[in-house]
Structure 1
Amino acid sequence: MIQSIQSAADLAPAYDLVVVGAGPAGISAAIEASTHGLAVFLADENETPGGQIYRSVERASDADLVRLGPDYAAGRRFVERFQRADVSYARRATVWNVGPADEEIGDGAHALEVGISLGGIARPIAAHRVILATGALERPFPIPGWTMPGVMAAGGAQILMKSSGLVPSGRTILAGTGPLLYLLASQLLRAGVSVIAVVDTTPVENWRLALPHVLSFAASPYAPKGLKLLLDVQRQTCVIRGATALEAVGSGQFSALRIHRGNKSVRIEGDLLLLHQGIAPNLNLTLAAGCDYSWDEHLAAFRPTIDARGASSVPGVSIAGDAAGIVGAVASAHQGELAGLSAALDLNRIGQGVYEQRRNELTRKLARALRGRTFIEHRFRPSKTYRVPEDATIVCRCEEIAAGKLREVAALGVPGPNQMKTFTRCGMGPCQGRLCSLTAVELLAQCRGVAPGEVGYYRLRPPIKPVTLGELAALPHTEAAIVAVAGFVERAADGAQDVIHGSHQ
Structure 2
Amino acid sequence: MIKDIQSAANLAPAYDLVVVGAGPAGLSAAIEASTHGLAVLLADENESPGGQIYRSVDRASDADLTRMGPDYAAGRRLIERFRGADLSYARRATVWSVGPADEETGDGAHALEVGISLGGIARPIAADRVILATGALERPFPFPGWTMPGVMAAGAAQILMKSSGLVPSGRTILAGTGPLLYLLASQLLRAGVSVIAVVDTTPVENWRLALPHVLSFATSPYALKGLKLLLEVHRHTRVIRGATAIEAVGSGQFSALRVHRSNKSLHIEGDLLLLHQGIAPNLNLTLAAGCDYVWDERLAAFRPNVDGRGASSVSGVSIAGDAAGIVGAVASAHQGELAGLAAALDLNRIGQSVYEQRRAQHAQKLARALRGRTFIDDRFRPGKTFRVPEDDGTIICRCEEITAGKLREVAALGVPGPNQMKAFTRCGMGPCQGRLCGLTAVELLAQCRGVPPGEVGYYRLRPPIKPVTLSELAALPHTEAATIAVAGFVERAHDGAQDATYGSHR
TM-score range, shorter chain: over 0.9
Letter in 2 for 1:121: I
Give yes or no for contact 1:13–1:105 (8 Å, CA) kept in 2: no
Q: Which amino acid in structure 2 is aligned with residue 418 of structure 1?
A: N
Shift of residue 492 of structure 1? 1.8
- Of the structure 1 ranges 482-491 and 410-419, higher mean CA displacement relative to structure 2 is found in 482-491
Task: Supply the AA of the counterpart residue of 2:419.
Answer: N
1:485 maps onto 2:486 in alignment: yes
Further displaced range: 75-84 or 437-446: 75-84
1:494 is aligned to 495
Deviation at 1:496, TM superposition (A): 1.9
| Identity percentage of aligned residues | 88
Aligned to 1:352: 352
Question: What RMSD over aligned residues (CA atoms) do the two structures have, in Å?
Answer: 0.8
Contact 1:14-1:106 within 8 A present in 2 as well: no
Q: Find the counterpart in structure 2 of residue 72 from structure 1.
A: 72
Q: Is 1:320 paired with 2:316?
A: no
Contact kept, 8 Å, 1:131 with 1:317, in 2: the verdict is yes
CA distance in 1, matches of 2:450, 2:148: 32
Please say if residues 291 and 305 of structure 1, whose CA atoms lie closer than 8 Å, have aligned partners that are also in contact: yes
Q: Aligned-pair distance for 1:485?
A: 3.1
Displacement after TM superposition at 1:166 (Å): 0.6
Cα offsets for 1:374-424 (capped at 9, x unmatched): 000000000001000121100000000000000000000000000000000
2:109 is aligned to 109
- 1:286 and 2:264 aligned: no
Letter in 2 for 1:31: I
Match for residue 410 of structure 2? 409
SS of the residue corresponding to residue 127 of structure 1 reads strand
Q: Post-superposition shift, 1:106?
A: 4.7
TM-score, normalised to structure 1, is: 0.99
Q: Deviations over 1:212-262 (max 9, x none)?
A: 000000000000000000000000000000000000000000000000001
1:298 corresponds in structure 2 to 298
Letter in 2 for 1:454: E
CA distance in 2, matches of 1:106, 1:162: 41
Query: 1:235 is paired with a residue of what secondary structure?
Result: helix
SS at 2:117 equivalent: strand
Residues 453-477 of structure 1 show CA distances to partners (whole Å, capped at 9, x for unaligned) of 0000000000000000111122112
Structure 1 letter corresponding to 2:378: H
Task: Tell me the equivalent position of 1:387.
Answer: 387
Give the Å deviation of 1:484.
3.6
Question: In 2, are the aligned partners of 1:106 and 1:125 still within 8 Å (CA)?
Answer: no
Conserved in 2, the CA contact under 8 Å of 1:23 and 1:133? Answer: yes
Confirm whether residue 210 of structure 1 aligns to residue 210 of structure 2: yes
Hey, what's the Cα distance between the residues in 2 that align with 1:274 and 1:365?
34
Deviation of 1:482 after TM superposition, in Å, equals 1.8
The residue that corresponds to 1:37 in the other structure is 37
Paired position in structure 2 for 1:263: 263
How far, CA to CA, are the matches of 1:479 and 1:12 in structure 2? 23
Structure 2 CA distance for aligned equivalents of residues 86 and 480 of structure 1: 38
Q: Which residue of 2 aligns with 1:189?
A: 189
Q: Tell me the residue number matched to 1:463.
A: 464
Pairwise CA distance, 1:59? 1.0
Distance in 2 of aligned mates of 1:40 and 1:7: 16
Query: Partner letter of residue 327 of structure 1?
Result: V
Which letter maps to 2:327?
V
Matched letter for residue 465 of structure 2: I
Of stretches 467-476 and 13-22 in structure 1, the one that deviates more from structure 2 is 467-476
Match of 1:28 in 2: 28
The 8 Å contact of residues 409 and 420 in structure 1, kept in 2 or not, is answered as yes
SS in 1 for 2:239: strand
Q: Could you say which residue in structure 1 is the equivalent of 2:177?
A: 177
Q: Distance in 2 between matches of 1:181 and 1:209?
A: 21
Taking a change above 3 Å as real, the CA distance of residues 217 and 36 of structure 1, as seen in their structure-2 partners, is same
Aligned residues: 505
Deviations 1:168-225 (A, max 9, x none): 0000000000000000000000000000000000000000100000000000000000
CA–CA separation in structure 2 for the residues paired with 1:294 and 1:385: 22
Matched, 1:241 2:241: yes
Q: Secondary structure at the match of 1:365?
A: helix
The 8 Å contact of residues 152 and 274 in structure 1, kept in 2 or not, is answered as: yes
**Matched residue, 2:331:** 331
Question: Which deviates the most, 473-482 or 439-448?
Answer: 473-482
Q: Is the contact made by 1:154 and 1:184 (CA closer than 8 Å) also made in structure 2?
A: yes
In the alignment, what sits opposite 2:161? 161
Paired with 1:386 and 1:487, the residues of 2 have a C-alpha distance of: 53
Which AA in structure 2 matches 1:120?
Answer: G
**Structure 2 match to 1:146:** 146
Find the aligned partners of 2:327 and 2:488 in 1 and give their Cα distance.
Answer: 47
Aligned partners of 1:341 and 1:355 also within 8 Å: yes
- Matches for 1:57-136 after TM superposition, within 5 Å: 57-136=57-136
Q: By how many angstroms is 1:104 displaced?
A: 3.9
| Distance in 1, Cα, partners of 2:36 & 2:136 | 28
Aligned to 1:367: 367
Greater displacement, 372-381 / 99-108: 99-108
- How much does 1:490 deviate? 1.5
| CA shift digits 1:42-81 (9 cap, x unpaired) | 1000001000000011111111000000000011111111
Instruction: Find the counterpart in structure 1 of residue 201 from structure 2.
Output: 201
| Amino acid paired to 1:431 | C
Does 1:418 pair with 2:419? yes
Measure the CA separation in 1 of the matches of 2:174 and 2:108.
Answer: 53
Structure 1 stretches lacking a partner, 5+ long: none
CA distance in 2, matches of 1:14, 1:106: 10
The alpha-carbon deviation at position 487 of structure 1 amounts to: 3.5
In the alignment, what sits opposite 2:277? Answer: 277
Q: What is the DSSP-based 3-state SS (H/G/I as helix, E as strand, rest coil) of the residue aligned with 1:183?
A: helix
What SS does the aligned partner of 1:497 have? strand
Q: Separation in 2 of the partners of 1:130 and 1:179?
A: 31
CA distance in 2: counterparts of 1:105 and 1:325, whole angstroms: 35
Q: Which moved more, 1:412-421 or 1:478-487?
A: 478-487
Q: What secondary structure is seen at the aligned counterpart in 2 of 1:102?
A: coil
- The separation in 2 between residues aligned to 1:256 and 1:395, in whole angstroms, is 21
CA deviation digits over 1:324-376, x for unaligned, max 9?
A: 00000000000000000000000000000000000111111100000000000
Q: 1:140 touches 1:438 (CA, 8 Å); kept in 2? A: yes
Q: Secondary structure at the match of 2:302?
A: strand
